[in-house]
Amino acid sequence: MKKFYSIAILLFSILLVGCNSQAANDEAVELTISAAASLQEALEELKTTYTDEHPNVTITYNFGGSGTLQQQILQGAPADLFFSAAENKFYELVDEGLIDQKQGTNLLANELVLVVPTNNDKSIQSFEELKNAEKIALGTPDNVPAGQYGMEALQNLGLWNELESKIVYTKDVRQVLTYVETENVDAGLVYKTDALISDKVEIVATADSDTHTPIIYPVGTLKDSKQTAAATDFYQFLQSDIAMNVFEKYGFKKGQ
C-alpha cells in the first residue's frame, strides 16, 4: 500500500511540474529586436511565422541604421536581440560586454548595388558614369553600414574625390531607396536586397566584393535581456532552415 501511495505521489508531482511548465510557456512575453533597416520585409514575414507557433510572444522591431541602433543600446535602450548589417557595430557590443560572443553568429551576407530611377534620364549605367549625376544618395557612413561600404567602393574605384560634393546623406539605407524611387536623386547605393523589393528602381551595377568590406549580418542576444529564454529561442529560430529560406527569398545569402 505504501508503495502504491509513493507511486501516486510521484505521478502527481510529475503532472504538477508539467502543468507549471505549460503555464510558464503560456505566459505573455514581449521581445524587442533592434535590426538593420534592410531586414524589414524578411523579419516581418518571419515574425508572423514565429508568433503563429508562439502566440504568447509579441515581437516589436526597432529598424534603423546599425550604427544608430548600436548607440541606442550603448545608451541603455531596451533590446533583446541585435541584428546588425555590419560586423564592427555588432562586435563593439561584444567588446563592451553587452553581447556574449557565444550567443552571436554571422548569419547573412549581402551585396552592394548602384540603383537609378526606372526612367534613368541621366543614362547612368556604371559607377564611372556617376559623374553624370547631380545628386547621389548614400547612407551616412558613420551610422549606416551601406553608406560605409558605398564610400569604400567609391574610394577604391578612384571616384570619391570627384563625387563627394554630389552626395546626399541619409539616415538609413531605406531612405536612399526612397530618394531614388521619388527621383529626388539621380542614383543611390543600396543593398541588393533593398533594390529587389522596389519596381521603381533599376540595378545598373554591382560593386565588386574586393572594393569594400565584406557585407555580413551578425545577430545575437543581449546579456541584459529580461526574456533570455524567449530571446534565445527566437535567435535559434532565425538560424533554422525555415528562416533561411525566407532570407534567401529576399535576396540574402548565408553568412560566413
Q: Could you read off the pLDDT of 163-220 as tens digits, one per residue? A: 999 999 999 999 999 999 999 999 999 999 999 999 999 999 999 999 999 999 999 9
Contact 240, 154 (CB under 8 A): no
Q: Which cell numbers hold the place of 59?
A: 515581437
**Is 146 annotated in some ligand binding site?**
yes
**Is 66 annotated in some ligand binding site?**
yes
Residue 106 Rama label (left phi>0; alpha psi -120 to 50; beta): beta
200-230 core/surface letters (b: 16 or more CB in 10 A; e: else)? ebbebbebeeebbeebbbbbbbbeebebeeb
Spell out the residues 6+ positions from residue 65 whose beta carbon is closer than 8 angstroms to its own: 36, 37, 139, 140, 143, 144, 145, 171, 172, 173
Residue pLDDT, tens place only, 222-239: 999 999 999 999 999 999
pLDDT at 256: 72
Q: Which of 104, 113, 175 is nearest to 144 (CA)?
A: 175
Handedness of CA 73, 218, 90, 216 (dihedral sign): negative
**Is 191 annotated in some ligand binding site?**
yes
The angle at the Cα of 26, spanning 25 to 32, to the nearest 5 degrees, equals: 80
Rg of the chain in Å (alpha carbons): 23
pLDDT at 4: 42
173 vs 8, which has greater pLDDT? Answer: 173
Q: Which of 255, 114, 158 is nearest to 122 (CA)?
A: 114
Residue pLDDT, tens place only, 62-109: 999 999 999 999 999 999 999 999 999 999 999 999 999 999 999 999
Distance CA 21, CA 9 (A): 18
Q: Which amino acid is at 7?
A: I
Q: What homologous superfamily is domain 112-211 in, according to CATH?
A: Periplasmic binding protein-like II (3.40.190.10)
Three-state DSSP state, 173: helix
The class that CATH gives domain 19-109+216-254 is alpha beta
Q: Which cell numbers hold the place of 199?
A: 519596381
**Is 38 annotated in some ligand binding site?**
yes
Q: What residue ranges do the domains of the chain occupy?
A: 19-109+216-254, 112-211
**Is 198 annotated in some ligand binding site?**
no
